[in-house]
Structure 1
Amino acid sequence: MHRPSSAEAEIAEELAAVRPDLVSRYAAELPGARAAVLTRLWRALVHEPLPWVVRRESGAALLLADGRRLEGPYADPYAVDGRVTAVRLGSVAYDDPARLMTDLAVPHGPAFAVELGDSVASLALSRADQDSALRAPVNSWEWEQRVVDGHPFHPNCRSRPGFSVAEQLAYGPEHRPVVRLALVAADDCAVRGEWPEWLWDGGRPLIPVHPWQAEHVLRLPSSGGLSAHPLMSLRSLALPDGGPHLKTALSARLTSSVRDISPYSIQTAATVSAFMESMAARLDGLLHITRTLGAVSADSPDLAAVLREAPDLYADSGAGEHVVPVGSLAATGLPQSPFWLAEFTRLALSVGLRLLDLGVALEAHGQNLLVVLSATGDPLRLVYRDLADIRVSPVRLARHGIATPALTGRIVTDDEITLRRKLFGSLVAGALGATAGSEAALRESLETAVPGLPRTPDLQALLEQSLPTKALTLMRLSPDTPGDLWTQLPNPLGEVKRGGG
């Protein structure tokens, strides 16, 4: 019999106090949650350049530096269905990713094992609190709240350290709460764009603050309040009645990153937004950018907020159109056929590659990228939000006679590897891979979509080189190494490179 981990036991104990009606459902969801996290971990162990894996053998067997063998099933790079229920380290089988990481005994493994245990327990809690009788989503934030399992490929898909069970239920989008944001009046603020009149207190801007941030980090007096619906990222929220979206600072580590808002992002917000609106106008109506309306910071990444348009503005509701975040497509079963997936793939690659050729690399993962669907479910055009992590190439812009915006810092680069990694890793290995859900389905959609695309140097690189993706587990096991670390997945495109376009 499986012995519950400390995280599993702690959540069960808290749940018994705050939601006793969920205790039995939570226990029933634990095995599936372990398999979901183990699937993501096994994918990483097979495909990432971990320094203590010295050889990868056919049949998904890994030889470790200490001589042990780690064996498991074929690790499909794009599978998100929890198909890996056990792997074997030496003669011992493991169904618990946290115990496996503990017994691997690798550098920084114990801390990562704790995070894996948290991810399993929180995922089981998220799955336990689902209602099969929910009405069909009407707007984009309701689609987002149908994403229960979190990041499709990160083993920390639901890790929420520092959040009690009550706080997860109160703030997690998959639990469908209404969150009451604090409003903090701050002096000496940096304000960019147009901060709305209703968010001022005399001469001081009111900064919406996530209640977890207000309680655990800032411990500041607040006035007023603002109700909102949490989105997929947890720290971003939709205001009621089709209002704009708010991105708040949340100084907690979710998956890999601490979700604060850097002063750099605030300073560049208006410039980047105006520039990207002009770039989207070059794409024949296939891409819309949710404009940044205003941004404010009290000179601290812990006390800042960004206000941007709701993506629903870019759907014609009268014609039955609706906007769906790409990250929710697989979670809600929307891709209904290989033909649909191929059409969506063609649309996404057309937009991403055209923009990259012009000089902008989007971080087009399933959270930032949304698709406008017709009344019959056909993919029509894309919406992109959250411009903080795009990359802009002055050399490429100049090649097309486009003026470079007045930007400096990390967003500006002409490095070809960096630009292609940004787009290919987020869009192909990320959004398209997770939507397809398997290597075979992704290959089929690409084989249909790619031959009709313009044969740019970037497409040629995508066809001929391995597919870059962030080495998410290596990053968690390398806490002293700043920035992103990368790995290469086998090229899923098969014989497409022989086709024309």
Structure 2
Amino acid sequence: MLYDSKTRICKQLLESLLFERILPFTEMIVGMKNRFTFHIKDSEVIVEGKRGPFDRIRLDITTLRSSKSSGVNDSFEHLLTQLPIPDDFQEELRRTHDFDDLSQRHRLRIHRAGLDYEELEQTIIEGHPYHPCYKSRIGFSRADHEAYGPEAGNRFQLHWIALPSTLVQGNGILPIPLILGEPLLHMFLVKLEELKQTDYQILPVHPWQWLRIKQEVAQVGGVDLGEGGVFVQATQSIRTVFCPGQPELPHIKLPLDLKQTSAVRTFSVPNVVAAPAVSDWLKKQASELPMTLLSEFASCVGSNGPLAGRVGCVFRENVLTYVHNGEQVIPLTALAQIEVDGRHFLGPWLERYGHERWLRRFFVVYLEPVIRLVTEKGIGLEAHAQNTLLVLRDGWPERIILRDFHDSVEFVTELLDDPSDVPDFKRLHPDFDAPLNTYYEMSHPLALRELLYDTLFVYHLTELAYQLELTENLNEATFFDWMHQTIEGLPIDRDRLERIGWYEQRVTAEALLAPRFGLTNQIDVKNSLVQQGEEDDHAMD
């Protein structure tokens, strides 16, 4: 079946609106399928589908029928104009269609499993498998999309500015000489000296962002130093860039006034200031667990005034420094992908090792360290697809590498192995003097289960299970049976799992779209890790 972005957007939009109870609907079981019926303005809409693990709704969008339209392409416009969705959300959906269509020229005609890490950062172009605004990029023009999106693999230089030190805050030693080169850095320093600007901080700026902050930089007495340094390329996250072919150089995360998947991608000032301290703490806590953490070893951010959170940088260790000869590293975003030949991305390795053997090994490698960090140390990480990398040897899972911690760590003091080791966040930034659940510290152990379930299962491994059912005839229930059995066999403290509510029959999941509609950001779903008996078929079809 040929790829069609309108079809995909309609599918993900309706699935999310129904799953998060944003759109009232009725559900009937008709034969082997579920029939969903809902009303929009003066139209009745019927579509068939099914319920998957964690109550996820999967629609057969080809069955979509409305009393006012026929066919999916016609339904795209009909749904966008008739559904009760805000105008700005409509714009995000339309831009997603535009940019997704534009991206298809870069879709590879080969199976991507043989590509290396840097190639995969460019060629995994699909975007978020659940959020319907997976490529909205509000603020980008079509030219910006080609210049700064990962799909085209374009390389560019960063812009550089100098700001008064009173306007920035950070920690760690910024590796600016490595990115700029000593000769250019010397030129910048000479220029600042000639301007009698000595108490200044030199910072990189994404060239797209520079055009949006140049006036504010001048207003606060900043100095425009121009473009220069090594050439960089966007990763899948767009705002993090890397230096192709130079594994010794770090990745650089930069703020952008860009809205992607309904969130503006600027920086949270206190989180960026705390980044190196968070990394040091996490690496110590996870030192005996079978995973690698990529340190965010230096950071700096505009801390006040019109540039607060809109300029800054986080320098992160390059994943390739932890990859050995004969190893391959893949972002877990690859796990939700079906290749142009109709096979799953993992197809060659599943065929080689067998579905059950490979998946059970993957569950051990991926889930054990993340769950044990919670049960043994009281710390939760957002180990979702974009933050997690899988290291393979001959296609066999060896270990995981995790990244991007400064705004995605949670802990509960009563569960900590050593509370005295926690960084003094209030000393790092005054905003950390805030109520629990605002930044890193949570008020209840259940928060850690919610973090794990959302990022590991509800919005992540459910996608892998669904795609394997479509491409490999592996029943989703079988997938989660194997996962449940694997987790039960891991060396994990069961009392701690009970304490975070791991075995509850129903769990709370985060609603990703509902807050846009003025609704609660939580939904109640069945816990498919403990309700395996309710599934009908536990075998390969």
TM-score by length of 1: 0.82
How does 1:409-428 map onto structure 2 within 5 Å? 409=432, 410-428=439-457
Could you tell me how far 1:430 is from its partner in structure 2?
2.7
Instruction: Give the length in aligned residue pairs.
Output: 458
Q: Is the 8 A contact 1:101 1:113 kept in 2?
A: no
Aligned-residue RMSD, C-alpha: 3.1
Matched letter for residue 456 of structure 2: L
Could you tell me how far 1:35 is from its partner in structure 2?
1.6
SS at match of 1:73: strand
Q: Match of 1:225?
A: 228
Matched letter for residue 388 of structure 2: L
Q: Match of 2:36?
A: 61
Q: Match of 2:363?
A: 345
Match of 1:487 among 513, 516, 523: 523
Q: Match of 2:381?
A: 362
Q: Is the 8 A contact 1:126 1:174 kept in 2?
A: yes
Q: Deviations over 1:375-409 (max 9, x none)?
A: x11111111111021112211105x6763332354
Alpha-carbon distance in structure 1 between the residues aligned to 2:359 and 2:479: 8
How does 1:212-361 map onto structure 2 within 5 Å? 212-219=208-215, 220=217, 221-226=224-229, 227-240=231-244, 241-242=246-247, 243-283=249-289, 286-299=290-303, 300-316=308-324, 318=325, 320-331=326-337, 333-334=345-346, 336-337=349-350, 338-339=355-356, 340-357=358-375, 358-361=377-380
Which one is further off, 351-360 or 400-409? 400-409
Which one is further off, 207-216 or 361-370? 207-216
Q: Is the 8 A contact 1:326 1:370 kept in 2?
A: yes
Q: Match of 2:506?
A: 466
CA shift in 2, pair 1:334/1:174, >3 Å:
farther
Alpha-carbon distance in structure 2 between the residues aligned to 1:157 and 1:368: 16
Percent identity between matched residues is: 24
CA shift in 2, pair 1:63/1:250, >3 Å:
same
Q: Is the 8 A contact 2:28 2:36 kept in 1?
A: yes
Structure of larger gyration radius:
2
Matched letter for residue 494 of structure 2: T
Alpha-carbon distance in structure 1 between the residues aligned to 2:482 and 2:13: 26
Could you tell me how far 1:276 is from its partner in structure 2?
0.7
Q: Match of 1:456?
A: 494
Q: Match of 2:537?
A: none
Matched, 1:191 2:170: yes
Q: Match of 1:6?
A: none
Match of 2:139 among 162, 174, 195: 162
Alpha-carbon distance in structure 2 between the residues aligned to 1:435 and 1:355: 23
SS at match of 2:460: helix
CA shift in 2, pair 1:92/1:444, >3 Å:
farther
Q: Match of 1:7?
A: none
Q: Is the 8 A contact 1:130 1:175 kept in 2?
A: no
Q: Match of 1:23?
A: none
SS at match of 1:84: strand
Alpha-carbon distance in structure 1 between the residues aligned to 2:533 and 2:102: 44
Return 5+ residue gaps in structure 2 as ranges: 190-197, 218-223, 340-344, 427-431, 433-438, 468-475, 535-541
CA shift in 2, pair 1:39/1:397, >3 Å:
same
CA shift in 2, pair 1:473/1:459, >3 Å:
same
CA shift in 2, pair 1:424/1:115, >3 Å:
same
CA shift in 2, pair 1:101/1:421, >3 Å:
farther
Q: Is the 8 A contact 1:101 1:110 kept in 2?
A: no
Alpha-carbon distance in structure 2 between the residues aligned to 1:414 and 1:272: 19
Q: Match of 2:49?
A: 74
SS at match of 2:10: helix
Matched letter for residue 344 of structure 1: F
Q: Deviations over 1:16-47 (max 9, x none)?
A: xxxxxxxxxxxx97x61112212211221221
SS at match of 2:366: helix
Alpha-carbon distance in structure 2 between the residues aligned to 1:62 and 1:80: 13
Q: Deviations over 1:421-461 (max 9, x none)?
A: 11210111233223333444642542452331336256554
Q: Is the 8 A contact 2:390 2:400 kept in 1?
A: yes
SS at match of 2:258: strand
Alpha-carbon distance in structure 1 between the residues aligned to 2:148 and 2:58: 25
